Every structure is written in structure tokens, then in C-alpha cells.
Amino acid sequence: MRVLISLVLAAFLLLPLPAMAYDILVLQSLHEKGYDDAVRGLRRACRASMRTVVLSDYAEADVTRMVREERPRLVIAVGDGALAVADRLRNIPVLYMMALNFKAHQRVSGVEMLHDPARYLSVFESFGSKRVGVVYDPARSGAYLKRAQNAARRGGVDLVVREVHTAKETPAMLESLRGKVDAVWMLPDVTAVSPASTEAYFLFSQSEMVPVVTFSDVYLTMGGAVALGIDRLDIGKQLGEMAQSVLDGVSLEDLPPQAPRRALTRINERVLRRLKIANGATLE
């Protein structure tokens, strides 16, 4: 009898494990509050069952095995690192959020971290700024800048652009804008905006008496005039709605990438007063 039981137990252990029953595999790049907030919003908006895996705790091979064995219907990538891994998966739709450096394609879509350029242009229009300086790296922000230029032409704003290819070029490019602009637009471009060049933006602002409009309220304490930040919780909710549509049968081809639908606008009243910009309060 003991031999029979041992044989049955051995045979059971050799059987393949059943696939885990969940709809969405959430790949999160690392443990980080902003990512956690976005995932919390995702869970609020999408009723599907999910498993969250933080990639800093796993090897990439483990993720490939999970997808093969557990067969989720959808993968959601949170952060650039997670998206790089998810993009290499095959035969499964991928949605992303909180990822900055990615070009979407047919099998991947999501919610971007960059606001629609029209949001920024409305700030410049409220200031009466007609010539706006922009420093950018074409390899990182070229596609976004083209969208911004199209929107600016429609709104009567002239974008005075300067290309950089290394971070050390940014201060010189800002210097070349002296006397040519009445505002500066700081893009979330890690070449154009780096720890080594950040101070140059605000020195330029002080000497030229022009506002800097930026993408993070961190820069308000350094001398930025207005920041249009992202609402991470709402980005998660927005992606959750997209995820539910995919699970309900909507093709990714019919769900192009979306800009964040909500901006967290913050102003630096002290800077606006110094620059004699009176209508900044209406932006909040």
C-alpha cells in the first residue's frame, strides 16, 4: 500500500500545474510610490482579476515563464523597465503607463506621461507669450515637438527651438535664446534637462525676466513659474478603463495611446509677481 501511495504521489507531482486564474499580469518596474499610486488607480477602474509582479524582485526569464504558464489575457507595464520587458513578449496585448521613453506600435498602447501640447500652449497664451524657447533632443522628444509645433502654429505661438544631443550643450543653447523669446518651455527630456543643466534654465529666467513653464512642481522651488504635473492615480484609472475595453474585446488598433486627461497645475506666485505676470492665479 505504501508503495502504491508513493507512486500515486510521484505521478501527481509530475503533472503540470494548472494555470493561475487571472486576467491581467501587472509588471511594475520597481517599488516606488508613484508606480504604486498608478496601480492603485488601475485596480479602482478595472474589475478584472490581476497579479502584480515587481521586476526588481524577479529575473526576466521568470516573467516569460509566467506568461507562458499562467496565460494572462493582458499585460500591463508600469515604468520604462517593465515596458522594455513586456515589449519582448509575443502573442499578448500590452498596455503601459508611467513610461516616458517609448514609441508605441500596433501591439502596444497605453497612457503617456506627456500632456497634450495644447495644455502648455494655453499657459503661454494666458501669459501673452508669443515666442517660446524650447531645448530638446530630437532622439528623445522629436515626435512630441512636431505635435507641439503643429499646435503652436494653430494658436499663433512661435516655438524657437534649439537641438541638443548631449546634456552639456543645454546651457549654450539657452544662451543663444537671449533676446529672442518671452518664455521658456522645459520638456521632460533627460538630455535637455539634466542635473548639470537645470540651473541654467532659471538663471536664464532671472536675467531675461521670462517665465519657465515646466513639467514638475519640483522645479517651482528652483525658480519655475508654472508646472503641469501628472496625476498618477488618475493615470492608473485612465489605463484601467482602457484595460477593461481590451478585455471586453476592443482591439489595441482601436485604442491609440492617450495623453493624461488631468493636469496638476501649480504656480509660483513669487516668480509671477517678480515677472509682473498678473493672471497666473487663473491657471490653478
pLDDT in tens, 78-118: 999 999 999 988 889 999 999 987 766 668 999 999 999 99
Query: Which of 105 and 7 is assigned the larger pLDDT?
Result: 105
pLDDT exceeds cutoff 80 at 282: no
What pLDDT is stored for residue 5 in this prediction?
A: 39
Work out the average pLDDT over 12-24.
59
Q: Is the dihedral of CA 198, 283, 120, 185 positive or negative?
A: negative
The C-alpha cell at 124 is 503661454
Asked if 112 contacts 259 with a C-beta cutoff of 8 angstroms, the reply is yes
Distance CA 52, CA 40 (A): 11
pLDDT exceeds cutoff 60 at 284: no
Q: What is the pTM of this model?
A: 0.84
SS3 labels along the chain:
CHHHHHHHHHHHHHCCCCCCCCCEEEEECCCCHHHHHHHHHHHHHCCCCEEEEEHHHCCHHHHHHHHHHHCCCEEEEECHHHHHHHCCCCCCCEEEECCCCCCCECCEEEECCCCCHHHHHHHHHHHCCCEEEEEECHHHHHHHHHHHHHHHHHHCCEEEEEECCCHHHHHHHHHCCCCCCCEEECCCCCCCCCCCCHHHHHHHHHHHCCCEEECCHHHHCCCCCEEEEECHHHHHHHHHHHHHHHHCCCCHHHCCCECCCCEEEEECHHHHHHCCCCCHHHHC
pLDDT exceeds cutoff 50 at 17: no
What pLDDT is stored for residue 104 in this prediction?
A: 64
110-142 confidence digits (pLDDT tens)? 999 999 999 999 999 999 999 999 999 999 999
Of 97-106, 180-189, 190-199, which gets the smallest average pLDDT?
A: 97-106
What pLDDT is stored for residue 20 in this prediction?
A: 56
Work out the average pLDDT over 228-245.
97
